């Protein structure tokens, strides 16, 4: 059955995300919070995280483009991103955020630019996988509802 195959694809995707440290135990905790009374909870959380991360990364990019960088503001935004990535279980993004905060606290603009590039790369990869996850879930729901 098509639904079974897509569920298998989704499981494979999730397993690989855990194996490659894109996600950690916190994401499993979120999965346990999703229940019959709130079936779209994971989708909602993922969407909020991705939108929020995009917003924060744009703000950080803007701050780092200025001739005089407000490292305190940059650090505050990175702190926010670390918080939300930890809360959703986005392990690799959270780890780069820690690195970013260290570089920020040294007022190292070049270091910040390099780390921003790294965090953008990690987030973009994670975002792609999340989108695939959500698409597969939508396909499963659509197929299951036709039964």
Partner 1 sequence: MADRITALLVECSVLVRCLYYQILTNLNFEVVSVQYAHEALELLQTDNDFDFIIIDAGRPDINGEVIMSLKDLAPHMKIIVSTFNIGLADGLLAAGADAFIIKPAQPEDIVDTLIELGIIG
Instruction: Find all residues with CB under 8 Å of 88, minimum gap 6, and list them.
Output: 26, 27, 30, 45, 46, 49
Cα–Cα distance measured from residue 135 to residue 133, given in angstroms and rounded to the nearest whole number: 5
In the complex, least distance from residue 143 CB atom to partner 1, rounded to whole angstroms: 26
29 binds partner 1 (CB under 8 A): yes
Q: Are 57 and 113 in contact (CB under 8 A)?
A: no
In the complex, least distance from residue 96 CB atom to partner 1, rounded to whole angstroms: 16
Selected binder of partner 1 within 8, 20, 38, 142 (CB under 8 A): 38
Selected binder of partner 1 within 14, 23, 45, 126 (CB under 8 A): 45
**Helix/strand/coil percentages in the chain, nearest 5:** 85, 0, 15
21 binds partner 1 (CB under 8 A): no
**Residue count at the site for partner 1 (CB under 8 A)?**
20
Q: How far is CA 49 from CA 34, 56, 87, in A?
A: 16, 10, 9
Selected binder of partner 1 within 30, 59, 69, 134 (CB under 8 A): 30
84 binds partner 1 (CB under 8 A): yes
Kindly state the tokens that stand for 19: 């194996």
Other CB atoms closer than 10 Å to residue 43's CB: what's the count? 16
Here's the x/- map for partner 1, 63-82, by CB under 8 A: it reads as ----------------xx-x
102 binds partner 1 (CB under 8 A): no
Selected binder of partner 1 within 9, 18, 43, 52 (CB under 8 A): 52
């Amino acid at each position: 059955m098509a639904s079974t195959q897509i569920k298998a694809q989704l499981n494979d995707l999730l397993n690989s995300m855990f194996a490659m440290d894109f996600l950690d135990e916190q994401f499993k905790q979120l999965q346990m919070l999703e229940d019959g009374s709130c079936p779209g909870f994971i989708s909602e959380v993922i969407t909020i995280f991705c939108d929020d991360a995009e917003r924060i990364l744009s703000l950080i990019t803007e701050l780092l483009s200025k001739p005089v960088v407000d490292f305190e503001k940059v650090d505050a935004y990175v702190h926010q991103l670390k918080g939300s990535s930890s809360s959703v279980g986005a392990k690799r993004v959270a780890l780069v955020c820690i690195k970013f905060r260290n570089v920020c606290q040294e007022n190292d603009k070049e270091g910040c630019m390099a780390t921003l590039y790294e965090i953008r790369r990690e987030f973009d990869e994670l975002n792609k996988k999340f989108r695939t996850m959500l698409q597969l879930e939508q396909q499963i729901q659509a197929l299951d509802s036709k039964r």
